Structure 1
Amino acid sequence: MLKKFTFVALMGALVSASFGAGVANAATDRNGSCETGEFCLYYNSDNAGSVSDFAASIADYGDSQPSCYEFKGAGNGQGVCVKNNAASVWNKTNKAVTVFYNSNYGGAKQTFAAGAKGNLKAELKNENASHRIGDAGGDPDPAPGTYPTPPTNNQPSEAVRAPQASKRTAFVRTQISTLTNEKQCYVGDYRPGEPSTSNHNTGNALDCTISNAIGQYPNATQKAQGWKLAYWLQKHAVKLDVRYVIWQGKIWSVARASEGWRNYTAGGGVTGGHYDHVHVSIQNPYGD
Structure 2
Amino acid sequence: MLKKLALATMMGALISASFGAAAANAATDRNGVCESGEFCLYYNSNQEGSVSDFDTSISDYGDEQPSCYEFKGAGNGKGKCVKNEAASVWNRTGHPVTVYFNSGYAGPKQTIAANTKANLNSDLKNENASHKLNDSGSGGGGGGGTYGAPDNNPHPSAAARAPQATKRTQFVDDEIRRLTGEKDCWVGDYRSNEPSTSNHNTGNALDCTISNAIGTYPTAAQKEQGWKLANWLRKYASKLDVRYVIWQGKIWSVARDDEGWRNYTAGTGVTAGHYDHVHVSIQNPYGD
Q: Which TM-score bucket, shorter chain as reference?
A: 0.5 to 0.7
Gap change, CA 1:113 and 1:219, over 3 Å in 2: closer
| 1:79 match | none
What's the CA shift string for 1:180-225, capped at 9, x where partnerless? 0100000000000000000000000000001111001011111111
| 2:53 match | 59
Q: Per-residue deviation at 1:265? A: 1.1
In the TM superposition, 1:106-185 aligns within 5 A as 108-109=79-80, 140=129, 145-185=145-185
Gap change, CA 1:5 and 1:189, over 3 Å in 2: closer
Gap change, CA 1:240 and 1:7, over 3 Å in 2: closer
* Max Rg structure: 2
- Counterpart CA distance in 1 for 2:226 and 2:34 is 38
Q: Does the Cα contact within 8 Å between 2:32 and 2:73 map onto a contact in 1?
A: no
Q: Does the Cα contact within 8 Å between 1:208 and 1:278 map onto a contact in 2?
A: yes
- Could you say what secondary structure the match of 2:79 adopts? strand
- Could you say what secondary structure the match of 2:246 adopts? strand
| 1:100 match | 72
- Counterpart CA distance in 2 for 1:203 and 1:220 is 31
Amino acid at match of 1:208: C
Q: Does the Cα contact within 8 Å between 2:217 and 2:276 map onto a contact in 1?
A: yes
> Is 1:253 paired with 2:247?
no
If the length of structure 2 is used for normalisation, what is the TM-score? 0.59
What's the CA shift string for 1:134-186, capped at 9, x where partnerless? 6969x946x65111100000101001100000111000000001110100000
Unaligned runs of 5+ in 1: 21-36, 43-56, 61-97, 116-131
Q: Per-residue deviation at 1:5? A: 7.1
- Counterpart CA distance in 1 for 2:230 and 2:216 is 18
Q: 2:46 aligns with which of 11, 17, 39?
A: 39
Amino acid at match of 1:209: T
- Counterpart CA distance in 2 for 1:186 and 1:196 is 18
- Counterpart CA distance in 2 for 1:228 and 1:110 is 16
Gap change, CA 1:6 and 1:41, over 3 Å in 2: closer
> Is 1:10 paired with 2:37?
yes
- Counterpart CA distance in 1 for 2:251 and 2:203 is 20
In the TM superposition, 1:228-243 aligns within 5 A as 228-243=228-243
Gap change, CA 1:38 and 1:180, over 3 Å in 2: same
If the length of structure 1 is used for normalisation, what is the TM-score? 0.59
What's the CA shift string for 1:224-245, capped at 9, x where partnerless? 1111100100000000000000
> Is 1:209 paired with 2:209?
yes
Gap change, CA 1:109 and 1:227, over 3 Å in 2: closer
Gap change, CA 1:109 and 1:268, over 3 Å in 2: closer
- Counterpart CA distance in 2 for 1:107 and 1:273 is 24
